[in-house]
Amino acid sequence: MKPKSSVVTTTATTTGCNQQQSKSPFTYGNNDGNTMPFISNSDTDGHNKLITSSNKLEPLASSATTCGRGGISMAMKSLIVVALVAAVATGGMATTKDGRMATKDVFTNSFLVRLHRSVQDPAQLARKHGFHYMGKVVGEEGGHHFQHRGLPNARTRRSIPHTRKLKADPMIVSAVQLVGFKRVKRGYLPLRVENLVPAASLLNPNHPTDPDFKHQWYLRNTGQNGGKPRLDLNVEAAWALGYTGKNVTTAIMDDGVDYMHKDLKRNYNPRASWDFSSNDPFPYPRYTDDWFNSHGTRCAGEISAARDNGICGVGVAYDSLVAGIRMLDQPYMTDLIEANSMGHEPHLIDIYSASWGPTDDGKTVDGPRNATMKAIVRGVNEGRNGLGNIYVWASGDGGADDDCNCDGYAASMWTISINSAINDGSNAHYDESCSSTLASTFSNGAKDPSTGVATTDLYNQCTLTHSGTSAAAPEAAGVFALAMEANTRLTWRDIQHLTVLTSKRNSLFDAKLRFSWRMNGVGLEYNHLFGFGVLDAGAMVALAQDWETVPPRYHCQGGVVTEQKYLSSNQSAVLTLTTDACSGNDTQVNYLEHVQAVVTLNSTRRGDIELFLTSPMGTRSMILSRRPNDDDSSDGFTKWPFMTTHTWAENPRGTWMLEGRLNTGGRLEEGHIKEWTLMLHGTREAPYKHLQAHDPLSKLAIVKKAHENKKRM
């Protein structure tokens, strides 16, 4: 007989001025000890520009004072909390005493070098020390990329002599040897000849006339191949309104784009393209016998494949432009390659689409490193001339054994995480669940290969079997391009609000009956797999036409619980925290967007831990699910920001509850929750008060009514 479980409860109330000192509570660490930022304090005004005296990103001080009602100290109100904690020569990674890498990551032959402003010729300085100059680093003032080709591009030991030589030069402020780490494509399938369709084929008399349009069930689902009729992206409604993505550019950050493909070359934007794997302006995929580097070309076709040209299918936004950013074709990724990719031409590029991430093995906990996070934050604050770039991310292909809240890219509040459904409305077998997913589109998952995603392939070929959440993210990017043509003033936050308000539950369901549809405190339906539902291009475009920019966003530290609590196989812990959401302070939040539970914990088996966050309005989010492959017993989570979107538009005031438990399957395990910080991100003003809801049953009408009722209380 199993012992009855017991609960340990801790309560904290964040009222009054406690002047509590905390050690840099605004950073988080991955399983390798790498620190990464997770919030920016008061980072936007009404136009999403930085609110700082210098309008620049500034680092977080080493300590912070928390004063009054869960607020953030006055000294920090002008800071953009990017929290680039001083990186040691390992790039923040764990090393042994002899300088060897203590993790699966490696040291590369690339160095991040910061130069004094007086340096006129960085390339000459690099040559002086035997390095090749690779260019400036996006978003890093004085930052430059040096590469030493006499060193191997991957080694376990740090090259101390080369670092010392650089640091000894008085014109060099700092030098850090870059760490290499793995990033993987999501949804890649090995080539099978029968998956290829010649680019020249008989035209289908249906409209559009592209020969593979009949296979693009996610654009127009008539029930073909056993699908559910009308379960699609409703793009034809957007096209009927005249929106096809004109003047919007989406960058495919991937293994390259075949920009010579007849279905892509008309819409290719060379000015916005670059090859960061080879450091040249030609992001063409490297040839391999198995066509492994077809991934980016397939994603590009989903968005921008031309219409009615007799080739392959049609893109979601078939008049939009596509840029190629080749950055995923080298043995190891580095922080600089990612940062330069995500900060490349932010005023030419509107949307960045990423169908990759940390390894989806159910045991990896990883995310963007320091320079990359700075680039993303700079993109949402300054890109598109202050409106903010849109970062679309595939939520992950780890299936039921993984959780996308352990992926710091997909779980970031600055990205839009997209999951997938298949043609009958069920989730794909590879779909990960997590509370940070905002919405879903479509991909394959059935045994019938014709239910895959039809798109462009290498060398003027077409495929019917693009797959994984890799295929889902570009579809979302295409829908966003349609909305951004309909309203050129949309900010990065406007796109997220439009996604929440116009996505549909439709007939999406969990095939394993684990996660049902639920309703949050203001009447919005959400699902742990599908977020707020499947994107509806017609509805999004219609609402975007008359959209009013959402009010400024603020970031409130709702409170901190630091008392360590014990977890065991038969004892869960419930921590409660009462907050007034920084009422009366400059960072007051009344209407939620994103919520983060920043947690430090460890256990004898990390994968058995489950975490749940319940809001004052009763919305319960599973912010961490069991991951049976994760047998870590040492790293745990260090200030990791588990994010939920499920409480969108709710009132954050009241008591929040964090529940931790061990789902061990009968094994004896134990753990400790060491710290929990509640971060509330949202607006002081009601976000939709100036919008008119024409349909009384629409999400917009439901939320507006809930907000009006709140005011009358």
In a domain, 1, yes or no: no
pLDDT for residue 105: 84
Last residue of a domain, one of 522, 545, 568: 545
- Summarised one tens digit per residue, pLDDT across range 160-176 is 999 999 999 999 999 99
Distance CA 585, CA 573 (A): 31
Ordered alpha helix ranges (H), 413-514:
468-486, 492-502
pLDDT for residue 103: 52
CB 355 within 8 A of CB 185: yes
In a domain, 94, yes or no: no
- 140 shares its domain with 260: no
Q: Residues 444-473: what's their mean pLDDT?
A: 89
Catalytic residue among 43, 254, 403, 494: 254
Q: Residues 411-433: what's their mean pLDDT?
A: 96
- Summarised one tens digit per residue, pLDDT across range 186-203 is 764 444 333 444 443 333
The one-letter amino acid at 119: V
- 563 shares its domain with 679: yes
pLDDT for residue 11: 63
Residue identified by tokens 């753990």 is 671
Indicate if the pLDDT at residue 525 is higher than 50: yes
In a domain, 92, yes or no: no
- Summarised one tens digit per residue, pLDDT across range 647-664 is 999 999 999 999 999 999
Residues 6+ apart with CB under 8 A from 713: none
pLDDT for residue 513: 85
SS (H, E, C) 247-297: CCEEEEEECCCCCCCCCCHHHECHHHCEECCCCECCCCCCCCCCCHHHHHH
Nearest to 441 by CA among 530, 570, 319: 530
- Compute the residue count for the chain: 713
pLDDT for residue 155: 86
- Summarised one tens digit per residue, pLDDT across range 598-647 is 999 999 999 999 999 999 999 999 999 999 999 999 999 999 999 999 99
In angstroms, the Cα distances linking 460 to 199, 266, 318, 435 are: 6, 13, 17, 39
Here the CATH number for the domain that contains residue 158 is 3.30.70
pLDDT for residue 34: 37
- 506 shares its domain with 564: no
Q: Residues 688-701: what's their mean pLDDT?
A: 94
Distance CA 453, CA 398 (A): 19
Indicate if the pLDDT at residue 91 is higher than 60: no
Residues forming beta bridges with residue 642, ordered by sequence position: 597
Indicate if the pLDDT at residue 3 is higher than 80: no
CB 557 within 8 A of CB 68: no
- 260 shares its domain with 302: yes
| Burial 444-469, CB ≥16 within 10 A → b, else e | bbbeebbbbbbbbbbebbbbbbbbbb
pLDDT for residue 689: 93
- 535 shares its domain with 564: no
**Is the bond preceding residue 208 a cis peptide, omega within 30 degrees?**
yes
Average model confidence (pLDDT) across the chain: 85
Indicate if the pLDDT at residue 412 is higher than 80: yes
CB 362 within 8 A of CB 397: no
In a domain, 185, yes or no: no
CB 676 within 8 A of CB 404: no
Distance CA 136, CA 113 (A): 9
Distance CA 677, CA 64 (A): 13
Question: pLDDT class for 183, splitting at 50, 70, 90?
Answer: confident
**Per-residue DSSP letter, 73:** -
Q: Report residue 345 as tokens.
A: 């031409």
Question: pLDDT class for 60, splitting at 50, 70, 90?
Answer: very low
Indicate if the pLDDT at residue 713 is higher than 70: no
Q: Residues 361-384: what's their mean pLDDT?
A: 96
Last residue of a domain, one of 481, 511, 545: 545
- 82 shares its domain with 110: no
Distance CA 322, CA 248 (A): 8
Nearest to 612 by CA among 603, 602, 599, 631: 599
Ordered alpha helix ranges (H), 41-200:
122-128, 160-167
Q: Report residue 137 as tokens.
A: 């680093």
Distance CA 421, CA 231 (A): 10
- 427 shares its domain with 539: yes
Indicate if the pLDDT at residue 455 is higher than 90: yes
In a domain, 192, yes or no: no
269 HSE (CA, 13 A, CB side): 24
CB atoms under 10 Å from CB of 2, counted, come to: 7
For the chain, what is the domain count? 4
Distance CA 154, CA 151 (A): 8
Q: In the β-sheet with 453-457, what is the strand arrangement from edge to edge? A: 196-198, 461-466, 453-457
Q: Residues 405-418: what's their mean pLDDT?
A: 98
Q: Residues 396-401: what's their mean pLDDT?
A: 94
Here the CATH number for the domain that contains residue 559 is 2.60.120.260
Expressed as residue numbers, the domain containing 171 is 106-180
The one-letter amino acid at 595: V
- 372 shares its domain with 459: yes
In a domain, 199, yes or no: no
- 257 shares its domain with 215: yes
Helix (H, G, I), strand (E, B) or coil at 542: helix
The secondary structure element, H or E, covering residue 336 is: helix 335-342
CB atoms under 10 Å from CB of 161, counted, come to: 8
Residue identified by tokens 């609110």 is 51
pLDDT for residue 14: 52
In a domain, 431, yes or no: yes
**569 or 549, higher pLDDT:** 549
Question: What are φ and ψ of residue 602, in 5° steps?
Answer: -145, 165
160 HSE (CA, 13 A, CB side): 7
- 62 shares its domain with 116: no
pTM for the model: 0.85
470 is catalytic: yes
Q: Residues 132-157: what's their mean pLDDT?
A: 89
- 590 shares its domain with 705: no
CB 632 within 8 A of CB 606: yes
- 349 shares its domain with 380: yes
Q: Which of 77-81, 129-133, 214-218, 419-423 has the lowest mean pLDDT?
A: 77-81
Nearest to 407 by CA among 375, 363, 377, 440: 363
Q: Report residue 347 as tokens.
A: 């005023």
Q: Residues 372-377: what's their mean pLDDT?
A: 96
Indicate if the pLDDT at residue 552 is higher than 60: yes
β-pairing, 321-326 with 654-662?
unpaired
The one-letter amino acid at 490: L
Residues 6+ apart with CB under 8 A from 561: 10, 12, 575, 577, 658, 675, 676
Indicate if the pLDDT at residue 453 is higher than 60: yes
**Per-residue DSSP letter, 215:** G
Distance CA 301, CA 295 (A): 10
Q: Residues 259-283: what's their mean pLDDT?
A: 97
SS (H, E, C) 580-643: CCCCCCCCCCCEEEEEEEEEEEEECCHHHEEEEEECCCCCEEEEECCCCCCCCCCCCEEEEEEE
Distance CA 210, CA 666 (A): 56
**Per-residue DSSP letter, 427:** B
Nearest to 564 by CA among 614, 605, 602: 602
Where are the strands (E) in 303-360, listed by range?
321-326, 351-354, 356-357
Residues 6+ apart with CB under 8 A from 544: 483, 484, 486, 487, 490, 494, 498
Of all residues in the chain, the percent with pLDDT exceeding 90 is 73
Q: Residues 281-304: what's their mean pLDDT?
A: 93
Here the CATH number for the domain that contains residue 469 is 3.40.50.200
pLDDT for residue 666: 82
In a domain, 93, yes or no: no
Residues 6+ apart with CB under 8 A from 130: 148, 150
Residues 6+ apart with CB under 8 A from 274: 280, 281, 283, 324, 325, 326, 344, 345
Indicate if the pLDDT at residue 98 is higher than 60: no
Distance CA 394, CA 388 (A): 20
Helix (H, G, I), strand (E, B) or coil at 37: strand
CB 326 within 8 A of CB 315: no
Q: Which of 97-106, 132-141, 566-575, 662-671 has the lowest mean pLDDT?
A: 97-106
Catalytic residue among 40, 412, 470, 503: 470
Catalytic residue among 145, 162, 261, 295: 295
β-pairing, 415-421 with 439-442?
parallel
Nearest to 703 by CA among 654, 647, 656: 647
